[in-house]
Structure 1
Amino acid sequence: MTGAVTRYFIDVLYKGTLYSGFQVQENAHTVQAALDKALSTLFRAPVVTTGSSRTDAGVHALQNFLHFDTALPLHPQFLYKINAILPEDIVLKAIYEVPPDAHARFDALGRSYEYYLYREKDPFMKDRGYFFPYTLDTGLLQEAAAIIKDYTDFTSFSKRNTQVKTFLCKIHESYWTVSEKQLVYNVSANRFLRGMVRGLVGTMLRVGRGKLTLQDFHNVIAGKDCTLADFAVPPQGLFLVKVRYPEGLLVDDRLK
């Protein structure tokens, strides 16, 4: 006998190398499909999740959230059982009971991404970063990253054929972390457009290599034309690192 329907948020991380993106697609191997299958197997009933953020093929996540509803009780060893069922490149970290109207996508207040470049050939970074052994002016990279915070319309950094109604985004953080062997672009915003982070990185790298001036970079953003931006950086360097929700939403961890 089952009780009332309960809504749960799940916190997951995954390595996206072997997947055709996050969202369920017909005849495609996706992260969400693997999660739905594992949950349905454990509950022995169909479970359909709703994700907070769609990542492209080859993109990774240190944190992403989904929600689902069920009237069935949680197995007392839920985390152990579900992670035994999931593929080794997907991990479910926590499950939270939330109000019935909570929504993994629409309640998110913001997201943070990191994009990794590595400067020396490294087989262990091959599917987790972009090998970029070229000379870069990191000072110009930082200046370009700071410029991004001055704008709210990112039409130039949205891939075509998107369904969004607005291209407005509020950037909270935008900066590069630089070390001898690695560069990481860090960006946080209330929302992101399709392909936006890779477009920002690709275009900033042109600035760092002296192929665009800082004024050119201003002009790319102000131009509101995606043909002006450079989206040609590979997906494996991109990580979704955090999804933020209203304080107090994710407090009822069912497994603590």
Structure 2
Amino acid sequence: MRYFVHISYNGLQYNGWQKQLNVLNIQGVIENALTQIFKVPVFINGCGRTDAQVHASQFFFHMDIEQPWDFDLIFRLNKLLPLNIAVYDIIPMEGLPHARFDAVQRAYDYFLHTYKDPFLNGLSSYYLLENLQWDQMKAAVALLPLYKDYRAFCTSPDKYEHTLCYVRSASLMVDEKGEKMRFQISSNRFLGKMIRIIMGQLLKIGQGTLSVDEFESHLISRKTPALITPAHPQGLYLSKVTYPYLNLPPRVDFSAVLQKHADTNWKAL
């Protein structure tokens, strides 16, 4: 029987989702917990491959379990898993749907703060910057849904069959003091480090070292910038995954500090 499992995780201590030898990864930790519970090897497939130190406020994986169980699997998993990984739902699925290949839309949030704050450490990316040109950054963000090929904003474009990404929405918000920023983007797919590269380019625009026209020229020409500077990973969250047959709201908000600002102080640019 195939099951989809709905989880979230704080990725700060992990070298990404994907299982790798000799490094701490989320997939491996979850597989070890499932194997311990069922006493047979259990392998899982995730809905994506988040980078090292990247978070997910919503994430799905699928697993195939032949034997039925007569205990509270969610409770046992949460008891075995570390506090930075949480399981919310285990959903039996008809047929063999795929957690990664069947997803039709993924949404990410990127949080950034411009002053040193110990309570945002690891939850938002810290950049000691002043007087960012928010209007220019907003103009660049507005261009993203107008283009389909993101070859220029990818670390290894040649490893993909194609570099088409159908960005459905992109927005930039800032708090009232201009000290915290939230970038949101949704698409059917994303390329390697694509969001962090875009965010790095937006920061250059905000500092006045890159123009909006230069930013757009890369989208038009599909040529990679001479210098790629991906933004820090700690502020990036996979925040929503949607399937044709499954569209659950996230079970958790962002950290209390971030969410308070998201609810009360953010304003759209």
Give the Cα separation in 2 of the matches to 1:200 and 1:105. 23
Whether contact under 8 Å (2:2, 2:63) holds in the other structure is yes
Deviation at 1:241, TM superposition (A): 0.4
Task: Quote the sequence identity (%).
Answer: 33
Deviation at 1:75, TM superposition (A): 4.0
Give the Cα separation in 2 of the matches to 1:45 and 1:162. 38
Q: Name 1:107's counterpart in structure 2.
A: 102
Whether contact under 8 Å (1:198, 1:232) holds in the other structure is yes
Which AA in structure 2 matches 1:220?
A: H
RMSD between superposed Cα atoms in Å: 1.6
Q: Name 2:133's counterpart in structure 1.
A: 137
CA shift in 2, pair 1:42/1:218, >3 Å: same
Q: Name 1:127's counterpart in structure 2.
A: 122
Q: Name 1:204's counterpart in structure 2.
A: 202
Task: Indicate whether 1:148 and 2:140 are aligned.
Answer: no
Q: Name 2:68's counterpart in structure 1.
A: 73
Task: Indicate whether 1:118 and 2:113 are aligned.
Answer: yes
Q: For residues 185-229 of structure 1, what are the alpha-carbon distances to aligned partners after superposition, in whole Å with 9 as ceiling and x for unaligned? A: 100001000000001100011111111111111112223233346
Q: Pick which of 93-102 and 46-55 moved more.
A: 93-102
Which AA in structure 1 matches 2:145?
A: K
Deviation at 1:100, TM superposition (A): 2.5
Q: Name 2:31's counterpart in structure 1.
A: 36
Give the Cα separation in 2 of the matches to 1:69 and 1:175. 38
Give the Cα separation in 2 of the matches to 1:231 and 1:162. 19
Q: Name 1:3's counterpart in structure 2.
A: none
Give the Cα separation in 2 of the matches to 1:172 and 1:146. 11
Q: Name 2:50's counterpart in structure 1.
A: 55
Give the Cα separation in 2 of the matches to 1:229 and 1:125. 28
* Structure 1: segments with no counterpart, 5+ residues: 1-5, 251-256
Q: Name 1:239's counterpart in structure 2.
A: 237
CA shift in 2, pair 1:51/1:228, >3 Å: same
The TM-score normalised by the length of structure 1 is: 0.91
Which AA in structure 1 matches 2:53?
A: G
**3-state SS in 1 of match to 2:225:** helix
Task: Indicate whether 1:169 and 2:165 are aligned.
Answer: yes
Query: What count of residue pairs does the alignment treat as equivalent?
Result: 245
Give the Cα separation in 2 of the matches to 1:75 and 1:118. 47
CA shift in 2, pair 1:105/1:115, >3 Å: same
CA shift in 2, pair 1:168/1:145, >3 Å: same
Q: Pick which of 151-160 and 229-238 moved more.
A: 229-238
